Structure 1
């Protein structure tokens, strides 16, 4: 199993699981590990977080494929059907969101880094949720920070 282009693939023998299980498990917490067996097909050992991230990415990919197969409306309009929370965004933000999600998905698929697309999806969904809850640039009592500002610890 290839983790990403140019990165080495971690491979262990099945006997390593019995002789050095803590080491193999620690390695699998960081990245998937291919476990080779003499008597059967190789298996992949990975964290539940990694497996769930891959499942979320596949689900997101299925939604994007559905969006791209529809030829009615702009990308943002089609994506708003698949992701109704986008309707809380302004039309301009829907356009930005749609393009950002496609770009993040392409980056995730090409680098096998599931977190890129999932983080972008989560960020836009949380933004839409905040807007729907009445939080916006014009909300009284809120101070918005610029991208380069840092917040000191309390």
Structure 2
């Protein structure tokens, strides 16, 4: 009965009805409506068989938001290949500074201070090397290889 009244109110109002509206329409206490709604939320196993042959499960039809699509995966791989190719055009020092600063290898970006310690130079010198490397990457001969990946 609660489901039927809830659907009716949904059609009339064009939105989900509140427990108070359902209680008023049914002529029962709001606490009773909330209790019924809570009970109605029985968990359902993702292993519940679906279909006539029962060879599929409910979990097979639930999308994983965190999974990358094949096209995104291919695009990312191509971008990484192009990026590594462009980085190879820099001096070894500039390349390593950018790899460390932006966490290209391990996903962990480093501060100017951390990179400076690795090279035994000041963070200002690392900033200069980074700026020079980025300036080189902005040159059309290098940047055009990466422009296609901008959204």
Answer whether TM exceeds 0.5 for this pair: no
Tell me the TM-score normalised to structure 1 length.
Answer: 0.24
Structure ID, larger Rg: 2
- Which structure is higher in helix share? 2
Tell me the TM-score normalised to structure 2 length.
Answer: 0.24
